[in-house]
Amino acid sequence: MPALVLLGAQWGDEGKGKATDLLGGSVDYVVRYQGGNNAGHTVVVGDQTYALHLLPSGILSPDCVPVIGNGVVVDPAVLLSELSGLNERGIDTSKLLLSGNAHLITPYHTTMDKVTERFLGSRKIGTTGRGIGPAYADKINRVGIRVQDLYDESILTQKVEAALDFKNQILAKLYNRRAIESGRIVEELLAYAEQLRPFVADTTLVLGRAVDEGKVVLFEGGQGTLLDIDHGTYPFVTSSNATAGGACTGSGVGPTKIDRVIGILKAYTTRVGSGPFPTELFDEDGEALRRIGGERGVTTGRDRRCGWFDAVIARYATRVNGLTDFFLTKLDVLTGWERVPVCVAYEIDGKRVEELPYSQSDFHHAKPVYEYLPGWSEDITKAKTFDDLPKNAQGYVKALEEMSGAPISAIGVGPGRTETIEINSFL
């Protein structure tokens, strides 16, 4: 099983960090392929909790090589501070590989992200303010700065000047902000160059060889299917391909090399930021899911919007990612409800719809059609096998599996590594 992708099946925060860490001990490489430090992946090992933003969760497994692929946007200040934070906690980070082709997030990207959101006012996306969208926009506009540019001062200077020429006009004339001086940016970036140098590599070559040698490579997605720039709820999305195809473009490993695509699926639904969310709850059930599930953003500390499980979304995730398996997380959070609503279809302008509508207006009008599944009250956090679960919890999992279109191969019953029921092995 040389290559597998693990990604979010909903709007992010499904528990990708935990799932990646669980497999980390048995894989050779863990690769981030898109996104940047907008991600917040929580890993709980014993009594230690780690919040990773840019580094692949495999960094916590001593024998695993963590890789930041070409598709990631890298804020060098964040990367260095995340590395030193882990070093202070006794984690060896020396194996990290950083693609020379990854694009950099610079201070002007973060500034542009914040001023654009302010300018949009009530129409804002609710971004994490980490400069993600502006950095990807520069990449596509061919005025981005790459990691490799740090090692040629003259090229770096020319590129920063080219990028700022246009942005300074916008900052000054549209947003009424002071222009950003290119010399200051170049100086700041050059100061990171030597600290990053030991990690910089041709990661496409390294990963291509690893796959050919039968090494196990795990691609760890950031965000989730419905935040994907092409397949998500545009424009309320992130600026990268969080779906399975992103693993190929963001790493340089071709699609024929990928053996398995695992969708991480929360037993209910959450979303951070603006945008449509058919099963969102505004009542005490929503409050209870937020409280019991600890649904507060790891990156921005914002409360997550909460709602019931949406099988239309899960089916869509199966289709657009070609999912082979699901890892169902946070089943323990649903303990205590007498019955648990599950959205099985939408009603849109009086019609029942089984598939995610491609039209933005239709999705905004979608009302959930619920089926009510019997709940359970027994503590399930100690369950080790599927048979340890109460009958109604088993029924809930089976029903979700049937509606979602791929086998549920693992179930999370708590945040810790060991609080997992493994049904089919992933490796």
Residue numbers annotated as active site: 13, 41, 139
Q: What is the contact mask toward Mg ion in residues 26 to 55, using x (rule: CB under 5 A)?
A: --------------x---------------
Query: Who's near 32: CB < 8 A, 6+ residues apart?
Result: 39, 54, 55, 56, 67, 68, 69, 72, 220, 222
Which pairs with CB-CB distance under 8 Å and at least 24 residues apart come from 236-240? 236/125, 236/126, 236/273, 236/274, 236/275, 236/276, 237/125, 237/275, 238/35, 238/38, 238/127, 238/132, 238/133, 239/132, 239/133, 239/136, 239/137, 240/34, 240/35, 240/71, 240/73, 240/132, 240/136
56 binds Mg ion (CB under 5 A): no
d(CA 290, CA 268): 11
Take residue 131 and report the two structure tokens written for it: 């400069």
220: β partners: 6, 32
Judge whether 414 is annotated as a binding position. Answer: yes
> Annotation-wise, does 238 bind a ligand?
yes
Of positions 106, 346, 412, 426, contacts ligand GDP by CB under 6 A: 412
CB of 38 closer than 8 Å to CB of 216: no
The answer to the question of residue 258 lying near ligand IMO (CB under 6 A) is no
Rounded to whole angstroms, the Cα distance separating 224 from 239 reads 12
Site for ligand IMO in 225-244 (CB under 6 A): 227, 238-239
| Contact with ligand GDP (CB under 6 A) among 61, 182, 240, 329 | 329
Q: Which does 409 bind (CB under 5 to 8 A by kind): ligand GDP, Mg ion, ligand IMO, none?
A: none
Residue 228 binds to ligand GDP (criterion: CB under 6 A): no
If one asks whether residue 43 binds ligand IMO (CB under 6 A), the answer comes out as no
24 touches ligand IMO (CB under 6 A): no
CB of 204 to ligand GDP, least distance (A): 25
Assess contact for 14 and 8: CB atoms under 8 A.
yes
Q: In 3D, which of 240, 219, 306, 230 has the Cα closest to residue 269?
A: 306
Establish whether 332 is an annotated binding residue.
yes
Which spans of this chain sit near ligand GDP (rule: CB under 6 A)? 8, 12-18, 40-42, 44, 294, 298, 329-330, 332-333, 412-415
Annotated binding site: 12-18, 38-42, 128, 142, 223, 238, 298-304, 330-332, 412-414
Which spans of this chain sit near Mg ion (rule: CB under 5 A)? 13, 40, 298
Which spans of this chain sit near ligand IMO (rule: CB under 6 A)? 8, 11-13, 38-41, 125-128, 130, 132-133, 222-224, 227, 238-239, 272-273
Annotated binding site for Mg(2+): 13, 40
